[in-house]
Structure 1
Amino acid sequence: MAWDEWEQLKSEAAGQRSTRMQLNQYPADQGGDGTQGDLVAGHQDLEAVGKAAHDLFEDFTTFSGHARVASEAAAGGLKGEGFALGGALEHVTEHWSKQTKTLLDACAHISNHLRFTKNQHAADDSYISGSVSSIALLDEGFDDRKGH
C-alpha cells in the first residue's frame, strides 16, 4: 500500500465517523421480565477458542516433533559428510525447537486460562446464589418476628 493510498483511506474513515465516544452495551429491549439472567460461563465462542487452542497444541506437538527429528537427522548427516549446511540446519532446528515451545506454551496458556475462567465463573455464580438465598432466608425470619 502506497503512502498516498494510506492517507486517502485515513481521511475517508475520518469523514465517515465523528470523533465521539461510543460505549458498547447490552441492548435495552430484550423482552421477558426485564431481568439480566444468570452468569453464564459456557459461551460457545469461548469454548471454540479453547478447543482450537487445545487442538493446535495437540497437533502441533505431534507434527513439529516429526519436523524436528527429521531436521536433526538431516543436520547430523550433512555435518558428518563435512557440509557446512549441516551446521546451519542444526542452528535452524534449535531455533525451531525454541519457537515451538513458545507456541505450545501460548496454546496451553489460552486453553488453561479459559478453563480456569469457566470454573471461576461457576464458583462465583454459586457464591452469589448462596448469598442471595441467605438474604431471602434472613428476610423471612424478620417477617416471622413481626407476625406477618
Structure 2
Amino acid sequence: MSFDGEWSGLRAEAASRMRINSARKGSPGEDSGDLVVRQDDLGRVGHEAFLLHARLKKAGDMTRGAKDDGATAKAASALGAHHFSMGDALTTMATMWNDQLKTLLQACAHISNGLDYTKKSQSHTDKEIGASLTHRNGSAVSVSEISRYYR
C-alpha cells in the first residue's frame, strides 16, 4: 500500500471516531459533554497534589539523603575510593534521580498552585458576574437586558 493510500485510510478512521464542536444535548452536569467544575473538586485535587508533593519529597530524600550524605552517596563515594567504576555510575544515577525528582516535585507544585489559583479566580469571576447581573438596589437584571449583550 502506498503512503498516500495508508494516510487517507488512517485519516478516515480517525474522522469516524472524532466529534468536534458537538455535544449531546441535556442539562449541564448530566453527562451532556459540558465542562462542569465545582469548587470542591478543584480544592480536593489541589490538596491531593500538595500531599503528593510532601510525600514524594520525603521519600525521594530518603533514597538520596537530604544533603547528599545518604546511603547512596556514601556507597558511591566508597566504591569510587576503591576505584570501582560502579561508584561513578551510582553518582550519575543519584544525580539523575535528583533531577527527575525535582521535575516531578515542580509538576506537583504547579498542579497544586494552579488549581488553587483557578479556584480563587473562578470564585472572583462568579462574584463579578453576579454583581454585573444585579441592579444597584439588588434586584436581578431582566432577561431582555441580558440579551442586549449578545446581539
- Separation in 2, partners of 1:29, 1:63: 41
Aligned AA (1:63): A
TM-superposed CA distance for 1:137, in Å, is 3.0
Percent identical residues: 31
- Separation in 2, partners of 1:83, 1:116: 50
- Separation in 2, partners of 1:97, 1:58: 15
- Separation in 1, partners of 2:64, 2:107: 19
2:22 is matched with 23
The C-alpha deviation readout for 1:23-71, integer Å capped at 9, x for no partner, is: 23562499xxxxxxxx974143x33432331121111100100111221
Query: When the two structures are aligned, how many residues end up with a matched partner?
Result: 121
1:129 is matched with 130
2:39 is matched with 42
Say whether the 8 Å CA contact 2:43–2:119 is kept in structure 1. no
Q: Larger helix proportion, structure 1 or 2?
A: 1
Q: Higher mean Cα deviation, 76-85 or 101-110?
A: 76-85
| Secondary structure at 1:137 match in 2 | coil
2:57 is matched with 61
- Separation in 2, partners of 1:29, 1:72: 55
TM-superposed CA distance for 1:110, in Å, is 0.3
Q: Please identify the structure whose Cα radius of gyration is greater.
A: 1
Q: Higher mean Cα deviation, 87-96 or 67-76?
A: 67-76
2:111 is matched with 110
TM-score for both structures, normalised by structure 2: 0.64
User: Taking structure 1 as reference, are residues 20 and 86 closer, same or farther at Cα in structure 2, changes over 3 Å only?
Assistant: closer
Say whether the 8 Å CA contact 1:40–1:121 is kept in structure 2. no
Gaps of 5+ in 2: 1-5, 30-35, 66-70, 141-151
Gaps of 5+ in 1: 1-6, 31-38, 141-148
Alpha-carbon RMSD = 3.4
- Separation in 2, partners of 1:43, 1:24: 25
- Separation in 1, partners of 2:28, 2:57: 47
Q: Which has the higher contact order (CA 8 A, sep 6+)?
A: 1
- Separation in 1, partners of 2:78, 2:132: 68
After superposing on structure 2, the runs of 4+ consecutive aligned residues of structure 1 that deviate more than 6 Å are none
